Amino acid sequence: MAGRKAIERLGPFYGATVVNATQMGRYVKPLLEQAGSEFWTYDCNCHGYNPDYARCYAGLYSWNAGVKGNYIWAYTHAHWDERDHYTVEPDGSVKVHIGRWHSRVLPGAQGPIPTIEWEARREGVDDYRYLQLVREKAARADADPQIVDEVAKWFVRLGYLVPWDDLMGRYHLLVPENGDFDMMDFFNPYPLATPAKYDAVRDQAADFITALGGQER
């Protein structure tokens, strides 16, 4: 839920409140903090083949938002009252009938088959883990104050690279004729956040981790 009144009235009764990615705004975070409910996010607006958005959503998007949970529509065989959107052929291959199918993982003869978006999501998870390790090392009492200051400024710059609170507006700009946000398959709402940029972020994170040193806890 994302409505102000809904959060104010229902938030105190839940340990976590889930807000769809296209409905997230900066007003949500303080309302949830006041309600004592954790900030989580969910998304189902892709069909399994948008690696740019998948990596961003699991990584920098969620990092900048500061959410405690991030999850997606991962497994399904049909959508609402529609017929199945895949068939398993005699040779074991899977034929997908693209419609309102939102799964990131396909059923296969020998088990689940990850889509390119699922693979990219894992890359985003690793991006997040790099950033989290930087934060943990910078928070140590023996951390170099100068490096800690550089890290803080860097985190601010990452917020400008992927602003988490205006996804709906960005999607409108990309697909102005589509108001239902039901298919983000071929659009990168954050065009400055390219694979090369993600790699640069990881490299910078690794440099900070090395510079901050210290023993692992």
pLDDT at 178: 53
pLDDT at 166: 86
pLDDT at 98: 53
pTM of structure: 0.82
Which stretches of the chain drop beneath a pLDDT of 70? 76-87, 95-102, 172-183, 214-217
Instruction: Delimit the domains of the chain by residue range.
Output: 44-74+118-212
Tell me the per-residue pLDDT of 90-116, one tens digit each, with 9 for 90 and over: 887 776 655 555 678 877 778 888 888
Give how far Cα 133 sits from Cα of 72, 118, 125, 204, 217, Å.
24, 23, 12, 12, 11
pLDDT at 151: 97
pLDDT at 83: 46
pLDDT at 217: 47
pLDDT at 177: 58
CA distance 57 to 22: 11
pLDDT at 215: 53
